[in-house]
Amino acid sequence: MKYVVYVECDDETLREGGYLAHIPAIPGCVGRGLTKKEAVARCEETLRAYLALLIHAGVSGLPRETEKFELEVYECVGSTFPSDYNPLMPNETEQLVQWMEVSRDELLETVAKLPPGALDWKPNPNIYSIREILNHIANADWWYVQRLKKWPTDLMERLAATRKLLTDSLRSLPDAERGQVTVHYGEEWTPRKVARRALEHEREHLAQIREIAERYRREEA
């Protein structure tokens, strides 16, 4: 079986910890190394482990992890590869969603087996704890969702788009969640508080804008 491997070699990638190798044909296969050779070798290790996981989960149409693979390696600058520009078809979307579910199940199973105290333990102060890594993964999902939609560059259109996102979210709340309390960075939030703060925040800054505009008019006069 032959796979194309792209190795990111730009300065920013190297500063983040070394070369980064990807196999786009099997989304999720990635390997980092201090050398290109090491990155590719780790990517192949990831490929074999990932294929074993997917096959065990019942995903069909994949090569066995024990097969011999031929890797065709290309160096690149940046993280967008030629295959990324191919339209994502409905059948591929369903397949990728299935793979996402398998990967998330493995993540949750791994965390469920952790001993008490492991979530917040740090080998040293400069390394994320497991809890911080999990928060990062959760926040990244929202970050990726935003990349599915190109927000308007025109400021007024952007204001309309972001406000519609908020109002649509409020309108679509199921009955069971209309009084739900969520905690973000130690602060409690409810749907009513979200709506209140959105309005308060806008009104506060509207007053600020009016004050600046008035000062500008006086200066111009």
Q: How far apart are CA 59 and CA 69, in angstroms?
A: 19
Q: How far apart are CA 25 and CA 191, in angstroms?
A: 41
Q: What are the residues whose beta carbons fall under 8 Å from the beta carbon of 121, sequence distance 6 or more?
A: 129, 130
Q: Which two tokens stand for residue 119?
A: 């979530």
| Strand blocks (E) in 9-54 | 19-22, 30-33
Output 14 or 97, whichever has higher pLDDT.
Answer: 97
Out of 3-7, 69-73, 150-154, pick the least confident: 150-154
Q: How far apart are CA 38 and CA 43, in angstroms?
A: 8
Kindly give the pairing relationship between strand 2-8 and strand 19-22: antiparallel
Instruction: Read off the pLDDT of residues 201-221 as tens digits, 9 standing for 90 and up.
Output: 888 887 778 788 888 888 887
Instruction: Read off the pLDDT of residues 98-140 as tens digits, 9 standing for 90 and up.
Output: 999 999 999 999 999 998 889 999 888 888 899 999 999 988 8
Q: Is pLDDT at 91 greater than 80 in this prediction?
A: yes
Instruction: Read off the pLDDT of residues 6-28 as tens digits, 9 standing for 90 and up.
Output: 998 888 888 888 898 999 999 99
